[in-house]
Amino acid sequence: MHKLNTVAVIQCTVDDLYKGNTNPDDYCITVLKNSNLFGDIILACPKIGNYMVFKELANHWGVNYYFGSDYNIAERLYFAAERCNADIVARILLKRVYIDLDIVKKMILQIENGSDYINLSSNINYEVAADVMSFSSLKKTVEILKNRDDNFQTSIYKFSPWRLIESENRFIIDNISNVNLWSKAKTSVVKTKLNNLFSNNENKVGI
């Protein structure tokens, strides 16, 4: 039986980088590489600003990279995942060093069982998870958007393709609600790490 290839596509821009800090432990890189959940990890970056820095970082971190559209995130994720021959795509933000891999693993398993996209119940903080979808559903989303009029709603879907998936009855969507809550000790450790990483004038994530 063919083992499905799950690819972590890290959505990122130069604004996501901590000044003078390229330590993979301080981004989601190390935790993803150590998880053994992903056949490949790829940085998906828009061609804006000093974007070529991600070529150097990809080599330093031992991951792949793809430079694509700024606003059409659907296409950027798609072409990055295609480059890695993905069957399942987990879209993750670069600074999510605190990502809950137990939740992500459950999401991946449901995609392996035939779902196209996984929703999380309202009691789960999206900040600690990922957007997990089948590659075929992401491809279908890109194809649908190519045939849509270029209007405000289409722009929203290009920026957040999972919104299109949720709005169309042609996709199989499952939900996850039963997860282990973080202990106070774990929450404290994560908050301490984030406080050390973020400067005083940056917004803290809501965890």
Encode the chain (207 residues) as per-residue pLDDT tens digits. Answer: 568 999 999 999 999 999 889 999 999 999 999 999 999 999 999 999 999 999 999 999 999 999 999 999 999 999 999 999 999 999 999 999 999 999 999 999 999 999 999 999 888 888 899 999 999 999 999 999 999 999 999 999 999 999 999 999 999 999 998 777 788 898 898 888 888 887 644 544 444
Torsion of CA 31, 98, 44, 161, to 10 degrees: 130
pLDDT of 125: 84
Residue with tokens 């150590």: 34
Cβ proximity of 88 and 134 under 8 Å: yes
State the CB neighbour count (10 A cutoff) for residue 100.
Answer: 21
pLDDT of 1: 55
Nearest to 60 by CA among 24, 35, 92: 24
Nearest to 17 by CA among 62, 63, 59, 49: 49
In whole angstroms, give the CA distance from residue 54 to residue 133: 25
pLDDT of 53: 96
Please list the residues that pair with 66 across neighbouring strands.
44
In whole angstroms, give the CA distance from residue 114 to residue 116: 7
Cβ proximity of 30 and 6 under 8 Å: no
